[in-house]
Amino acid sequence: MYTYINNMGNTVRENTRERENTHMFSDKVKKLLNEQITKEFYSAYLYLDFVNYYEEQGLKGFANWFMVQAQEERDHALLFIKYMQNNDIKVTLEAIGKPDVVMKKHIDALCASLTHEQFVTASIHTIYEAAYEDKDFRTMQFLDWFVKEQAEEETNANDNIKKMELFGTDSKGLYMLDQEMGARVYTPPSLVL
């Protein structure tokens, strides 16, 4: 509690904690944000599985590309955690499931990546919709970056499939594509919370 005199000369007593966090988050939004953390960590785990597959296949460039993806997904989870911490929302970490994608051909992980990114996009949209219904503009603004990011993720995944379909069946083309994938470097997200 603290006491101050307002502009009308009245003495006012307020609870500091209530004054600092006047934004209310619905239980639904809190639940969805927590679930998204698990989904983002699962994404990193999935992509690490792809790294292992491509390493075993001798395609170190593809392995590098998915290692960068795994790092990005981990950082996405950490961004959700930080957002929740900054807004006094309890973070609950859940178990991360084992990836179950079966990879028999080089293109399989690429196709699974696109499908997974579409799943993550739908999940982000679900949170956004819940925040919109609650007029939770703070969460909507936070999610704006992820909406744009997911569009980029889906485009990249789709482009990788097209390149593999065009060049991946020829050993020289696959070599060049692997070299291209190997040039990707990790850049941490620039989202400021």
What are the residue boundaries of the structural domains of the chain, listed by start?
Answer: 24-182
For the ranges 125-134, 154-163, 180-189, which has the lowest average pLDDT?
Answer: 180-189
Q: Which amino acid is at 7?
A: N
The predicted pLDDT at position 15 comes to: 56
What is the rounded average pLDDT of the residues 152-177?
Answer: 96
On the question of pLDDT at 176 being above 90, the answer is yes
CB atoms within 10 A of CB 135: 7
Listed in sequence order, the residues at least 6 apart from 46 whose beta carbon sits closer than 8 Å to its beta carbon are 99, 101, 112, 116
Reported as half-sphere exposure (CB side, CA atoms, 13 A), residue 63 has a value of: 10
The predicted pLDDT at position 18 comes to: 45
Domain 24-182 listed as CATH 1.20.1260.10: yes
Q: Which amino acid is at 56?
A: E
Burial class (CB in 10 A: 0-12, 13-18, 19+), 41: buried
User: pTM for the whole thing?
Assistant: 0.86
On the question of pLDDT at 120 being above 90, the answer is yes
Q: Which amino acid is at 163?
A: K
On the question of pLDDT at 17 being above 60, the answer is no
What is the rounded average pLDDT of the residues 126-133?
Answer: 98
3-state SS assignment for residue 106: helix
The predicted pLDDT at position 19 comes to: 43
What is the rounded average pLDDT of the residues 41-65?
Answer: 98
What are the tokens at 127? 């949170």
